[in-house]
A and B are shown apart, each in its own frame.
Chain A
Amino acid sequence: MNKTSLYEAHLKLNAKMAEFAGFEMPIQYAGVKSEVQAVREACGVFDVSHMGEFFVTGADAQKFVDYLITNDFLNAQMNKAVYSPLCREDGTTIDDLIAYKLEENKVLICVNAANIDKDWNWIESKKSNFNITLENKSEAYSLLAVQGPETEKHMTSLGFKDLESFEYYSAKEFEIDGDKYILARTGYTGEDGFEIFASHDLIQKTWAKLMDQGATPCGLASRDVLRLEVCYPLYGHELNDNLTPLDAALKWTVKLNKNEFIGKGALADHTPTHRLAKLSIEKGIPREGYDILNDNNEVIGKVTSGTMSVVLGKGIALGLIKRDKFPENKVFKIQIRKNIVDATYHTKAFVNGGHK
């Protein structure tokens, strides 16, 4: 199994470790609740070095990335980050990713760890008509996500300057005393925060400094609660190889008015088969795979992600509902083992993140 450069550091902190996407990753340290609270109220640090980093360089770098993804990359300003699905010609979803416009001719694409090979093979196969160089640097980079309202203070202590003017969803290359970092004001928690891409030894040093500064180490379990509280989708749950982004409430990321891109024709014609619902329950925890029912107790969908919200103290879920069965009266129930419980339908995210 793969280990990140921080593996020993996690063991020293008595992290509970488990396999995720072929990597032995920290699931939790002190506890999921306290880690979620640290990110919502102060500053938490996640080792997410398992994620993949592809670099696209050359005269057509921006054009190529814009052709690959459904969201608009070409018109994004310099240094902006763009979240987007990556689709096939038929509109089904290969992965979701963030593309960072680092320079006129240089783009960083960050992809899910479980999909690195699948994405790489796909992107490689599409590059022939473009003047670009494509590099998979996933094994050369470590990645930290530093998240929470006190993140800027911690980053300033690390030596990063002028962060007040560093916009949310943007990225820049930094050099401090000869050490090179790519810094992005992105994350997966809904809070303000930065992601730091750098070499393994630099990330080891940065992690140690953040620990000394009192930032809270956070594992993948709290990361999942945090993203679900703000209703961010996770590939393999709300998104998968068989569904389009339009089935998972991601219409805002599919820009049918931009230039030609892979999947454009199919997505323009596609009527979504599912709708994403945000549901909460008063008692118990809705888990992935549980049936969602209407007021006649007819099964109309399934929970795709579920957890206990630390902020709300309630069970929360995202679920895919068959579009033709989506109840107009918004009455939903969830079957938990042998009990059927009432669920509350939410039009907004369960928690408002504090990001800028």
Chain B
Amino acid sequence: MSNIPAELKYTKDHEWAKLEGDIVTVGITDFAQNSLGDIVYVELPNIGDNIEKEGTFGVVESIKSASDLYSPLTGEIVEVNEDLNDSPDLLNEDAYTNWIMKIKISNEDEFNSLLSASDYKPLCEE
């Protein structure tokens, strides 16, 4: 069973988002890390880049496949989780404490339109 924290928001592409002030922290869900298997590489975005909602901001790779990451929101990338450069498997260990990027958003309505945990849950059923 996938872990889907109730306090987070989600996308259909299996990213999670958490809002604090005007900063949104973004990662991949437990379901995503489990489907990928052993994660061996994360391509992180550049700090300072502007990203569109649903634009690709990076790649997570398992041994078998490479999967694009899609930004849940529009904004400016203000921080990336450098720990993932050396330890991409942190995403397998805990996909929620190990975030991928933080973005500064200008439109809070966009955040509110993301999926709730209960909306997201059916997307994790096989």
Could you tell me which A residues sit within 8 Å of B by CB distance? 16, 27-28, 31-33, 221, 225, 283-285, 287, 307-308, 310, 315, 337
Contacts and interface: CB of A to CB of B under 8 A. Distances in A.
Contact of A221 (B41, B59, B64): B64
Which of A16, A221, A283 has the most chain B CB atoms inside 10 A of its CB? A221
A285 B41 contact: yes
Contact of A31 (B38, B41, B61, B66): B38
B37 A308 contact: no
A285 B64 CA distance: 10
A29 B27 CA distance: 25
Contacts of A308: 40-41, 61, 63
Given A308-B63, A337-B59, A284 B43 contact: yes
B64 A27 contact: yes
B59 A33 contact: no
A221 B63 contact: yes
Contacts of B43: 284, 337
Contacts of A33: 38, 63
A32 B66 contact: no
Q: Which of A16, A285, A315 has the most chain B CB atoms inside 10 A of its CB?
A: A285
Contacts of B37: 16, 28, 31-32, 221
A231 B63 CA distance: 17
Nearest to B63: A32
Contacts of A221: 37, 63-64
A33 B37 CA distance: 9
Contacts of A32: 37-38, 62-64
A17 to B, nearest CB: 12
A33 B40 CA distance: 10
Interface in B34-91: 37-38, 40-41, 43, 59, 61-64, 66, 85
A285 B40 contact: yes
Q: Which 4 A-B pairs have the closest CB atoms?
A: A308-B40, A32-B63, A33-B38, A31-B38
Nearest to B43: A284
B38 A287 contact: no
A27 B36 CA distance: 12
Nearest to B68: A337
- Greatest chain A CB density within 10 A among B62, B64, B66 is at B64
Given A16-B37, A28-B37, A284-B41, 16 more contacts: A27-B64, A31-B38, A32-B38, A32-B62, A33-B63, A221-B63, A221-B64, A225-B63, A284-B43, A285-B66, A307-B63, A308-B41, A308-B61, A308-B63, A315-B41, A337-B43
28 contacts: A16-B37, A27-B64, A31-B37, A32-B37, A32-B38, A32-B62, A32-B63, A32-B64, A33-B38, A33-B63, A221-B37, A221-B63, A221-B64, A225-B63, A283-B41, A283-B85, A284-B41, A284-B43, A284-B61, A285-B40, A285-B41, A285-B61, A285-B63, A285-B66, A287-B66, A308-B40, A308-B61, A315-B41
A285 B37 CA distance: 15
A210 B38 CA distance: 25
A225 B38 CA distance: 13
Contacts of B61: 284-285, 308
Contacts of B64: 27, 32, 221
A234 to B, nearest CB: 14
Residue from B38, B41, B59, B62 having most chain A Cβ neighbours under 10 A = B38
A315 B61 CA distance: 11
A337 B57 CA distance: 13
Q: Please indicate which of the listed interface residues B62, B63, B66 has the most CB atoms of chain A within 10 Å of its own CB.
A: B63
A16 B40 CA distance: 18
Contacts of A225: 63
Contacts of A310: 63
A16 B64 CA distance: 12
A24 to B, nearest CB: 15
A225 B62 CA distance: 12
A192 B68 CA distance: 38
A226 to B, nearest CB: 11
A34 to B, nearest CB: 8
Contacts of A307: 63
Contacts of B66: 285, 287
B66 to A, nearest CB: 6
